[in-house]
């Protein structure tokens, strides 16, 4: 890949390699965002068994009962599939990987006011991409900050080994896993505007704040990718997709890594 046909500068690539993450501003324009917003607003009033199961008449105190995350919407919605394979995103990923990227997963988070965040964790604990690593592309559909549940990242933990999670605080996290950062590093907030995309390495420790606002959603479209030279991935992320939409199957990862023979089946983010 020559410098002339790269999407990223050498400085941006070096930043990702050093810190484990990179923000690319405005990678989705207003038309892209409007289509995503319309698609998932319509979806929010439906039930898709196995992928999106809101309690439409929910009267509980947990807003995530009414607005849970949508898992793998690309498997049943063409708009989600299109934006999982969004050309500007795939081009950035090719620069970061130094080779073609394969799309493995899509998700949509509504994160309504009052909803819990997600404890610090590592994505490749779940995806098990090997050899290589997964990369997340986290797109802000709403502005994201410390108040409405924006992301937390622990810089320079992309070379930190995958570790066995501890039990998270269920009062603050809707998922059960928690990875404690190394003593010398601290989690910092990521402030993003609509259309910005945060790319981060699968070993990077990250999570999110609780949405402490009364009137602001923190919607996000999040996808995970594998490098084309990878041979194995967790079964829950197959099939994968090339940039042109054709499918490809990697072998199923069977090595449970540091935590036993098999990983607990929990999707990241």
Domains of the chain, first to last:
3-56+63-255 (2.60.120.620)
25: pLDDT strictly greater than 50? yes
Cα separation, 239 vs 56, in Å, equals: 30
Q: What is the mean pLDDT of residues 206-230?
A: 98
The pLDDT score that the predictor gives to residue 264 is 42
Instruction: Give the pLDDT score at 84.
Output: 98
Confidence of residue 117 (pLDDT cuts 50, 70, 90): very high
Tell me, what's the pLDDT at 255?
Answer: 65
Whose tokens are 């990242």? That residue is 153
In this prediction, residues 110-128 reach a mean pLDDT of 97
Residues 83, 91: Cα–Cα separation, whole Å: 13
Token representation of residue 192: 């993003």
Tens digits of residue pLDDT in 32-50:
999 999 999 999 999 999 9
Q: Judge if pTM exceeds 0.85.
A: yes
Average pLDDT over residues 126-130: 96
Cis preceding linkage at 166, omega within 30: no
**Helix 87-97 crosses helix 10-19 at what angle (to 10 degrees)?**
70
- Burial of residue 35 (number of CB atoms within 10 Å: 0-12, 13-18, 19+): middle
- What pairing do the DSSP bridges indicate for beta strands 70-71 and 166-167? unpaired
The DSSP bridge partners found for residue 22 are 199
Separation CA 117–CA 170 (nearest Å): 10
Write the pLDDT tens digit of every residue in 56-94. 998 888 999 999 999 999 999 999 999 999 999 999 999
């Amino acid at each position: 890949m020559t410098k002339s046909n790269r999407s990223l500068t050498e400085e941006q690539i070096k930043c990702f390699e050093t810190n484990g993450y990179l923000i690319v501003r405005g990678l989705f324009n207003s038309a892209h965002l409007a289509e995503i917003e319309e698609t998932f607003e319509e979806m929010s009033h439906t039930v898709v068994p196995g992928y999106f199961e809101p309690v439409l008449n929910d009267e509980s105190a947990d807003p995530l009962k009414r607005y849970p995350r949508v898992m793998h919407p690309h498997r049943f919605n063409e708009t989600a599939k299109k934006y999982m394979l969004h050309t500007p995103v795939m081009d950035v990923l090719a620069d970061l990987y130094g080779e073609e990227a394969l799309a493995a997963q899509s998700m949509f988070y509504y994160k309504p006011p009052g909803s819990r965040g997600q404890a610090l964790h590592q994505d490749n604990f779940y995806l098990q991409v090997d050899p290589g690593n997964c990369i997340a592309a986290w797109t802000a559909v709403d502005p994201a900050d410390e108040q409405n549940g924006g992301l937390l990242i622990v810089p320079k933990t992309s070379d930190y080994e995958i570790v066995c999670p501890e039990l998270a605080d269920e009062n603050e996290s809707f998922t059960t896993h928690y990875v404690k950062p190394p003593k010398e590093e601290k989690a910092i907030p990521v402030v993003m505007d609509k259309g910005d995309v945060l790319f981060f390495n699968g070993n990077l420790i990250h999570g999110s704040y609780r949405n402490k606002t009364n009137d602001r959603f923190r919607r996000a479209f999040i996808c995970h990718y594998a490098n084309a030279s990878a041979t194995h991935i967790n079964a829950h992320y197959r099939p994968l997709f090339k940039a042109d939409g054709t499918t490809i199957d990697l072998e199923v990862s069977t090595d449970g890594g540091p935590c036993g023979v098999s990983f607990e089946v929990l999707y990241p983010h």
